[in-house]
Every structure is written in structure tokens, then in C-alpha cells.
Amino acid sequence: MPANSRGPLQFATQTALNASRLSSDSTIGTNTTVTSQQDGNDNVTFYDSPTSPPYQAIKYQLPGALNALSSSPDGEYVVVAGREVLKVLHVTDQEATEYINLRTGSNLSLNYSSNDVKWGNNGTRNKIATAATNGAIIIWDLNKSGRKTDRVISEHSRAVNRVCFQPNNGYILLSASQDGNIKAWDLRDPKAAAKYSYEGKSESVRDVQFNPMHTHEFAAGFETGTIQKWDMRNPKLIYERKVSAHNGPCLTVDWHPDGRTLASGGRDRTIKVWDMNSDSRKPQYTIRTMASVSRIQWRPGYDNEIASCALLSDNGLHVWDVRRPNIAKYTFDEHSTTPTGFQWLSPDVVISCAKDRYFMRHEIVGAYKPIELLRKNGIGWNIHGDLVFSIDKSTGHQFVDEASTPGLTNQASRKSSRNRTTTGEELSLQYIPPQTCGIAHLPLFDYGTFSVFAQNYVINGENLKLACETNAKIAWSMQRFRAAQTWKIVQLLFADVEEERDSEQANGIDENYHNMSVTKALTANGNEVISESDSESSVSPVNEDEKDNEEASSSDSSESLESPIISQNQEIINDLFHYYTEQSDVQMCVTLYLIVQQYVHINADQLEDWFTSYIDLLRRFKLWTSATDIINACPIDNVRALNLNATTINITCNNCFKLVLGTAQGSWACDKCHKLLNPCSVCHQTVRGLYVWCQGCNHGGHLGHMRDWFSMKSQCPTGCGHTCTLDMSTQGSTE
């Protein structure tokens, strides 16, 4: 039963939290914005230029959409490539200017529209390789006069997605193609044939990257979502290691400068970091981004930071810290479409290009920090008056506390000592920003008394004297002396009216009252909603007749005899109601009204207010039974309609307490735990037909089995310890 009650309770508190958050925003929000502004100021001073205007990215517009860029080894020149563009730009920290346009002349073949571009190094420092959309690889020589085309290699049958120069030997070029092959070219060799061809035995190759430390190694990302590590020296031409990294295509890979860690990004919106030397098949870190990851690159000089851009629908260029994967550390969002390529020129400078035709040079100073837009403190309360709050405890402006989460470098050094293998990894995975949480109890509302009153107050005013007395006793026992006194006064005020009626119909009312209290007792036990209707139907027809008589007579008498008394008491009663409204004690208002409703007149609008807010409160505290009682007792049509339209009765599984989603005819088994619902306690089969159960412990079964069982035993067949039979004579009523 406690597990059963958890779900709705959580829901209730959740809504209460949400509601309170709205209200708390206005108060707390100002505080947090102030602190975040302070943070921002401090950061500016950190860069030692508090007065200078914020850094503006250098922009340069090109005639067409851009697909890729690459910088020369010295970082002064950048080549940008697209379907209609192939230009070399001269980029300084002030401006970008066009240097050479490689896409000149009249005969512009497909060779001039590029998927990817790379600038050579060392021996090929004046050469540029582009991957054309038609599968050709074109080598351009900048020193050549006239047409710069040095060589056209067309050996791939499908488009080439990525080209890559070996880091220390610019003559070796790798190309990754849609046709599933990775080919290595030696540019010193005048023959056109590929030196090696690596067949990934997988689908299209999306990316290929040389290992910066061990330059004979390279990694490739495939459209099947796998990444593979190859060694060029391996004569067998088979991959050394294969990781199925992504769900859906892997679009990009990048080696960490340490030479053993590889990051990969894919269409499944994740960036994953792998240790390529270990045998673990799980990534070291996973960063979940907002959109498919199209390119990634580690930030030089910062071992734990990696930049990424999306394939579509996200125009930002994000820099992440692997130790804090849930939020980007920096974001550049100057582009108006998704960036298609970017490269770090130095630890603080990044160049990027996009389909919006702009080439841009950003500095890290110009990036905004998403973390500063976040509110780090929070507050909320639940209906029981508990206030919960969390406070950001991080002291400095560090994004990640280096001491507590060592990250990649320290890990690597630790592992190189080979003392710890896997345990070290798991220790230091994520940075958790320090926070303090607290719960304070604010005794604004006495939940206990409220629910006791809600469950025990008599709300049937037919026997006013008795009802008032009972209610007074209850209030007294809960030490609500004022309320108890109120009940006493009400009793006195209307006692004489009552007595006249009492003398007329003493026996009938007595019986009625008895019946009523039984109902109350039942509901107090916390039984199902049904009990209300049960009690009504259990009232014998004779009683109902009497009720009718009563009502008829009381209405008669109220017109003839009691009108002077009403006018007498009306003022006091009005004061009473006024007092409790001021106190915002809707419980008292409603209960009082229900008791004395025959004798007083209250504005209907006010009544509806009371009732709806009281019912709302009751429901919030999960006092469904009491709420239904109130709704049924309410004289206002609008409120009564609550029970008439769209009443859904949800059934929970009696095993796992999950909601059973059955058809309109009900269902036989629980979807969650795959157990039968309400099987017979004796034979454990589904009961088709008559199902008999004990109102006390809710266990039951086939009519026949139950009868057999209880003819011998008096305790529940499930062994729950409940004595189901009161005595032999009540066996009939159990059924």
C-alpha cells in the first residue's frame, strides 16, 4: 500500500514544486542574475581588458557555401573550399583578405567543387589537397604559375569524404571514400596508383585521421557507426582494432595529442572518447550534444577540451570539457547556418566556415559561456510546508575543478605507471559542481489536523446537535479549542430548533446517524472510493422514505416556525463565516455550512469558492474519499458536476502497484510485472465470473473456493494474517 501511494504523491509534490517555482522566480531570480553578472565581470578582468569592447569575430564573405577549410602550417593562410569556392585567404588577427583564387578559368569541371580540403606540411607546404564530389582527389601547387592544378587522382569510384596528410611527412596522403576504401598515396611517386588500399569491410568511410604521436597509425570512422584503428606498417592490410561506437553513422574522429585517446562523433548526437590502447569496449567519456555531430577537434593545449559542430539545426560551435559533459564550456554562435568546418589555429583562436558563405576567425574571449546563463540556485516547496533549496558552492571561476577530477592527462600518466588500470578510470569520470542542498520545514499549515478533520468531521447536518457535538469532540481532541468552541456555539444556537424536530422523529434520526457514523468509520480506514456509494445503497428503502419525510417536514417547519430564529442567528453565523474566511480556513467554512445549511443563506459565489478550494486542498492531500464526500454533499450544481463528468477509475496492479492500462472491459494481467491481476488466492488462477474479496485485506478469489476456505478457517487464505470473517453469520455479507 505505501508503494501504491507513492506515485500520485510524487505527482502532487511535483506540481506543488512547479507552482512554487513560479512564484519563487521573482524573488530568487534577481539574486542569481546579480551573482552571474559579477562572475562575468571577474572573467573580463581575468583577460585584463575591462574597458575594451567585446571581441568581434573576423568575418569574410565568399561567393558560395563552404564545406571545409584548412590552414597552412604557419597559420597565416587558410584555404576554404566549397561547391563553388576554392580560395586561399590571408588571415591576420585584424582581418581576412583574399590571397589566391584557385577556382579560375573558364573550364570549371567538377574537380573544382570540393567536399574537403587539407593543406600539406613539410615537403608539401605549398600544396593543397581537395576531395572533389566526383571522387577525384586534386593536388594543387601554389607555386605553380597559371593553373595551379598539380595532379588529379581519380581512383575512388564514389565521392571522397575526407583527405588527411601524415603529420610529419606531408607526402603521404590518406583519402576516405564513400566506396568503403581508405587509400594511401605517396605524392613523391609519380605513378597514379595508390600505395596502399585499406578496405574497411564496412560501409562508407566518413572520416580518417592520422595519429599525431604514432604517425603510422590512423583511425577511421564509418557509416555503420564503427571506428577502426589501422597501422600502416601492417602488411596484412587489416585493421588492428574495431569499436562499434555509435548508433547510426559515425561522422568524425579526432586523435587526442597524447596519441592514445580518440574522440568520435556521430549522428546519434554524441561525442565519445575512447582509449584505443585498452580493451574496454565502453567509451571513457560520453558527451551528449543537441544535434548530430559533424566535426570535432581537440583544443590544443587543453587536454580535456574538445570542440564540435553540428550537422544541422544547431548553428553553434561548442567547446566541451569531457569532465563536465552536460554543458558546453564555450559557444560561438556567429554563424547563421550550421558550421561545416573549423580548425584551431592556436589554443585561443579558432577559424570556421559555414554554408552561410562566411569564413570567420573567432577568439575564445569572444565566446559566451553557457554556464553563466544558468541559474545555479534553486528553491521549491511541497504541500507539507517543506522548503528545499540548493546553493552553488563553487568558489572560483573554474569550469572544472582540476584537483577533484584529474581528466585525461593525469589518467594517462597514472596508467603509464601501470599501477591501476580500470579502477582509476572510474574514479575520476565526471566533475560534479559542488552544491549544498537543504530542507527547511515551515510550519505554515497543519497537515495532520487537517486530514484528521477532513476524515472525521461529520458533514451531514440532519442531526445538527449530534453532528456539532461530535465535531466539537474531534476538534477538542486535536486541541483546536477555538474550533471546538465554535461547534459548541453552533450547537447551542440551533439546539432548540433541533429539539423540536428531534421530538418528532427521534428514532428515525438516531438510526440515520448510526448509519452515517459507520460510513465515516469505513472511510477513515482509507478504503476505496466505492464505500461512499456502498453506504448509500446499503441504506434500506425504509430509511430513504424517512429521509423524504424529514426533508419535507423540515422544509415545512423552516418556513413556518424557524424563520425568526434564522434571522436571529444569521448575524452570528455570518460573523462566524466571515472570521473563518479571514483565517482562510475553508475546511471550517465548508463543514460548518454543510451542517447548518438548512438554516443559513450564503452567497452562491462565495460558496463555490469555498467548496472548490476545499476540494482542491483535499485532493492535493490525496484525501480522495473525503473530497468525494464533499462533492456529493455540496448543493451547488457546478461542484456536483465534478463527480458526474469523466470519472475515471484507475486500477493498480496488486503486485507491483503500477497502473494497469487495460481496455474498457478491464484487463487480466499487468503489463509491467506480467502477473495476473487479482488471481484467486486459493488456486492462483484468473477469476472469470464472480470474484469475492474481503473488504479488510482486499484478498479474494473464486466464490466456491472462498466458501470452502472460510467454512474451515477464519483467516485470509493468502496468509496475510487478516481475520476476514467476523463470525459465521457475516459470511454471507462478505460474499
Binding site for another protein (CB under 8 A): 83-84, 110, 113, 115, 133-135, 157-159, 161, 178-179, 201-204, 206, 223-224, 244, 246-249, 251, 267-268, 281, 292, 294, 311-313
Buried b (16+ CB within 10 A) or exposed e, 276-291: beeeeeebbbebebeb
Measured in whole angstroms, how far is the alpha carbon of residue 669 from the centre of its chain? 30
> Which element (helix H / strand E) includes 633?
helix 624-633
Instruction: Give least dist CB 14 to another protein, A.
Output: 23
Cell of 211: 595519429
Instruction: Give least dist CB 337 to another protein, A.
Output: 9
Which sign does the torsion angle of CA 425, 426, 431, 433 carry?
Answer: negative
Measured from the CB atom, the residue of 135 and 380 that comes closer to another protein is 135
Measured from the CB atom, the residue of 204 and 471 that comes closer to another protein is 204
Q: Which residues pair with 51 in a beta bridge?
A: none
Instruction: Give least dist CB 580 to another protein, A.
Output: 50
Q: State the Cα–Cα distance between residues 155 and 194, nearest whole angstrom.
A: 8
Measured from the CB atom, the residue of 205 and 595 that comes closer to another protein is 205
Supply the DSSP string of 577-614, one letter for each residue: HHHHHHTT-HHHHHHHHHHHTTT----HHHHHHHHHHH
689 φ, ψ to 5°? 105, -140
Q: State the Cα–Cα distance between residues 335 and 338, nearest whole angstrom.
A: 7
Instruction: Give least dist CB 175 to another protein, A.
Output: 13
Measured from the CB atom, the residue of 154 and 652 that comes closer to another protein is 154
Q: Which of 56, 721, 597 is closest to 611 using CA atoms?
A: 597
Measure the N-to-C terminal CA separation of the chain; round to a whole number of Å. 23
Q: State the Cα–Cα distance between residues 165 and 387, nearest whole angstrom.
A: 60
Instruction: Give least dist CB 182 to another protein, A.
Output: 15
Instruction: Give least dist CB 313 to another protein, A.
Output: 5
Cell of 407: 581528466
Query: How many Cβ atoms are within 10 Å of 621's Cβ, its own excluded?
Result: 19
Q: Which amino acid does the sequence have at 398?
A: Q
Measured from the CB atom, the residue of 138 and 687 that comes closer to another protein is 138
Instruction: Give least dist CB 311 to another protein, A.
Output: 6
Measured from the CB atom, the residue of 92 and 422 that comes closer to another protein is 422
Q: State the Cα–Cα distance between residues 714 and 726, nearest whole angstrom.
A: 8
Instruction: Give least dist CB 675 to another protein, A.
Output: 19
Measured from the CB atom, the residue of 224 and 352 that comes closer to another protein is 224
Instruction: Give least dist CB 661 to another protein, A.
Output: 15
Measured from the CB atom, the residue of 154 and 215 that comes closer to another protein is 154
Measured from the CB atom, the residue of 132 and 164 that comes closer to another protein is 132
Instruction: Give least dist CB 236 to another protein, A.
Output: 11
**Please, which contacts does 312-320 make with residues 24 or more away whose CB atoms are closer than 8 Å?**
312/338, 313/338, 314/289, 314/290, 314/338, 315/339, 315/354, 317/342, 317/350, 317/352, 317/362, 318/289, 319/364, 319/367, 320/271, 320/287, 320/289
Measured from the CB atom, the residue of 311 and 633 that comes closer to another protein is 311
Instruction: Give least dist CB 355 to another protein, A.
Output: 8
For residue 102, CA distances in Å to 88, 110, 161, 263, 555 come to 7, 13, 20, 33, 102
Q: Which of 20, 13, 22 is closest to 620 using CA atoms?
A: 13
Q: Which of 333, 290, 328 is closest to 307 using CA atoms?
A: 328
Measured from the CB atom, the residue of 97 and 244 that comes closer to another protein is 244
Measured from the CB atom, the residue of 329 and 335 that comes closer to another protein is 335
Instruction: Give least dist CB 221 to another protein, A.
Output: 11
Buried b (16+ CB within 10 A) or exposed e, 329-353: bbbbebbeebbbbbbbbeebbbbbb
Give the CA diameter of the chain. 123
Measured from the CB atom, the residue of 201 and 420 that comes closer to another protein is 201
Q: State the Cα–Cα distance between residues 576 and 572, nearest whole angstrom.
A: 6
Instruction: Give least dist CB 316 to another protein, A.
Output: 15
